[in-house]
């Protein structure tokens, strides 16, 4: 039986395929949630599902990959909201790094932990958005933006976030990290895998 | 965790953070032109968004027609009466009559008017998420002759102007935005003022006209049109005066304008790409 070893992890070709499918599904989720945001079908109660998606991915993935994914989620939020390009990506990157570090060192992956980390992410993201896009410009009656747009968005995002968690969880159960059993499954094409790579 | 902060991973993440900060600075100094990385991301998603927007607009219209049929019937009757009343009011006033004619036949006038140059009809392909001012994206950009700050209108009236531009799409800031300033004149009484929106009104779909002479006889129902300038040409219908109230200091008046076009429902617009006096001064 032959194996391909990448980095410190042993990865069979089958696992590499699973990982590719998983990231493809993540990207499809990103696109789908972005499209939902741009359609405006929920009016001012439009949930920004890219925030829980980034947080849920951060809980399940490594620090670096979750940060890269968070940047893409943040950039699409910026495009959708017409924020300064990179604004949401900046905050989401910091939040997702923190979430990923917490998950790897202090907390376990479960719905409760997801809910409070997601809530923190939503509060940080939208409070910064409110501060930098309304408060500092000092438009007359700018607090109406908070009441009519920011708060409904935050509420709908938090309410809809368990759905995102279960989608990401389902993707990870099916295509996620290999167990010790399947980690050592033989590579599908033994001829191609005859050379083991050890980094 | 201590090891992580000394690892290569952490250094790469710091580089990523610096890259995002770089994007922000680049976007801030680009002055409304869409930067390259943003253009790539948005262009990649644009076909899906456009298709989904078309489907959701259709579904919304269909559902709306079913659910609010009775309301629209009543509204239609009321509007017909109001229209008849308005026609009778303006029929004796040549200037307003001409304006009304212009509004009803804007497209035809456009072809005859050498002063204006128009873009091809633009389709609304996406809406800014949760934007209480109704901003949206259209499917034409600089490669179609559109420039930053070009006025955006429909056959009914003024919608806004271009504030962000890429070769293949453009972002429209609407007349409800507090960022916009428009010189306004009423069609029949020639009362002048400036639209400087207050979120209190614009969040409900109204514009606020300020700096009106306190002795002017502006009144509810008056027609507000653009007075002309370097950004907006003169004579574009904005809406009708809904109410008038004095400023806190008592020196001027404010008028609340109900825009003729509902910016939240527009699906097709035109961009005035050139007119006499544009961008001068």
Q: What is the CATH number of the domain that holds B113?
A: 2.40.10.340
- Overall residue count recorded for chain A in this entry: 199
Q: Are residues B195 and B171 in the same domain?
A: no
What is the domain-level CATH number for residue B222?
2.40.10.350
Q: Is residue B239 part of a domain?
A: yes
Same domain, B205 and B156: no
- Which of B146, B175, B204 marks a domain boundary? B175
- Between B61 and A111, name the one with better pLDDT: A111
Is B138 part of a structural domain of the chain?
A: yes
User: What's the DSSP call for residue B34?
Assistant: P
pLDDT of residue A185: 41
Helices then strands, each counted (H, E), chain B: 6, 13
Residues B142 and B188 both lie in one domain: no
**Together in a domain, B151 and B202:** no
Last residue of a domain, one of B175, B190, B223: B175
pLDDT (tens digit per residue) in B141-173: 888 889 888 999 888 889 999 998 888 889 999
- Structure-block tokens of residue B5: 């902060």
Residue in A with minimal Cα distance to B201: A141
Residue B37, in any domain of the structure: no
Among A87-96, A112-121, B129-138, the least confident range? B129-138
Interface residue of B3, B8, B9, B20 to substitute, partner A, most A CBs within 10 Å: B20
**Pairwise CB contact (< 8 Å): B53 & A46:** no
Q: What is the pLDDT of residue A186?
A: 45
What is the number of structural domains in chain B? 2
Residue B159 lies in a domain: yes
pTM score, two decimals?
0.77
Regarding whether B151 and B86 lie in a shared domain, the answer is: yes
Q: What is the pLDDT of residues A22-68, one digit of tens each?
A: 999 999 999 999 988 887 777 788 899 999 999 999 998 888 999 99
Give the gap in angstroms from C-alpha B198 to the nearest C-alpha of chain A.
6
Q: What is the pLDDT of residue A26?
A: 92
Same domain for B239 and B150: no
Q: Of B175, B190, B213, which marks where a domain is finished?
A: B175
Q: What is the pLDDT of residue B278?
A: 76
Distance from C-alpha of B205 to C-alpha of B202, rounded to nearest angstrom: 5
Residue B22 lies in a domain: no
Interface ipTM > 0.85: no
Contact state of B131 with A81 under an 8 Å Cβ cutoff: yes
Q: Are residues B189 and B164 in the same domain?
A: no
Of A63, A82, A84, the CB nearest to B13: A63
Domain match, B188 and B171 both: no
At residue A180, does pLDDT exceed 60?
no
Question: Within this chain, do residues B169 and B191 fall inside the same structural domain, yes or no?
Answer: no
Structure tokens at A57: 């991915």
- Overall fold of domain A4-194: Arp2/3 complex 21 kDa subunit ARPC3 (1.10.1760)
Which residues neighbour A93 within 8 Å (Cβ) at sequence distance 6 or greater? A67, A70, A71, A74, B13, B16, B17, B20
* Residue B132, domain extent: 66-175
């Amino acid at each position: 039986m032959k194996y391909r070893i990448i980095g410190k992890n042993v990865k069979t070709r089958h696992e590499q395929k699973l990982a590719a499918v998983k990231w493809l599904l993540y990207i499809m989720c990103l696109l789908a949630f972005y499209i939902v945001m741009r359609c405006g079908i929920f009016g001012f109660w439009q949930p920004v599902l890219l925030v829980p998606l980034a947080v849920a991915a951060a809980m399940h993935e490594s620090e670096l990959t979750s940060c890269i994914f968070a940047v893409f989620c943040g950039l699409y939020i910026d495009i959708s909201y017409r924020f300064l390009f990179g604004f949401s990506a900046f905050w989401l990157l910091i939040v997702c790094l923190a979430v990923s570090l917490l998950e790897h060192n202090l907390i376990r992956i479960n719905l409760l932990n997801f809910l409070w980390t997601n809530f923190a992410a939503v509060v940080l993201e939208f409070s910064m958005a409110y501060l930098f896009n309304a408060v500092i410009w000092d438009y007359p009656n700018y607090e109406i933006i908070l009441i009519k747009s920011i708060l409904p968005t935050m509420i709908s995002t938090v309410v809809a976030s368990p759905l995102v968690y279960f989608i990401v969880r389902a993707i990870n159960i099916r295509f996620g990290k290999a167990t010790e059993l399947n980690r050592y499954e033989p590579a599908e094409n033994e001829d191609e895998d005859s050379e083991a790579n050890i980094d | 965790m201590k090891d992580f902060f000394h690892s290569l991973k952490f250094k790469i993440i710091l580089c990523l953070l610096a890259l995002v900060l770089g994007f922000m600075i680049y976007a801030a100094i680009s002055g409304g032109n869409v930067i390259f990385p943003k253009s790539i991301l948005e262009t990649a998603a644009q076909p899906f968004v456009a298709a989904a927007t078309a489907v959701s607009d259709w579904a919304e219209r269909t559902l709306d027609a079913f659910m609010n049929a009775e309301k629209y019937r009543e509204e239609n009757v009321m509007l017909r009466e109001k229209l008849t009343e308005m026609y009778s009011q303006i029929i004796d006033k040549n200037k307003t009559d001409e304006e009304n004619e212009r509004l009803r036949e804007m497209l035809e006038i456009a072809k005859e008017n050498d002063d204006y140059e128009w873009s091809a009809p633009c389709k609304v392909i996406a809406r800014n998420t949760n934007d209480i001012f109704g901003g949206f994206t259209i499917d034409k950009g600089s490669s179609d002759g559109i420039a930053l700050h070009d006025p955006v209108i429909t056959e009914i009236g003024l919608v806004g102007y271009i504030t962000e531009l890429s070769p293949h799409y453009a972002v429209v800031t609407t007349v409800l935005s507090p960022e916009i300033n428009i010189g306004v004149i009423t069609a029949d009484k020639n009362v002048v003022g400036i639209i400087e929106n207050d979120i209190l009104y614009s969040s409900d779909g109204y514009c606020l006209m300020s700096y009106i002479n306190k002795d002017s006889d502006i009144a509810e129902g008056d027609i507000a049109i653009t007075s002309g300038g370097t950004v907006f040409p003169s004579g574009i219908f904005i809406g009708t005066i809904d109410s008038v109230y004095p400023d806190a200091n008592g020196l001027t008046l404010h008028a609340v304008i109900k825009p003729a076009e509902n910016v939240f429902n527009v699906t097709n617009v035109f961009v005035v790409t050139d007119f006499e006096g544009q961008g001068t001064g």
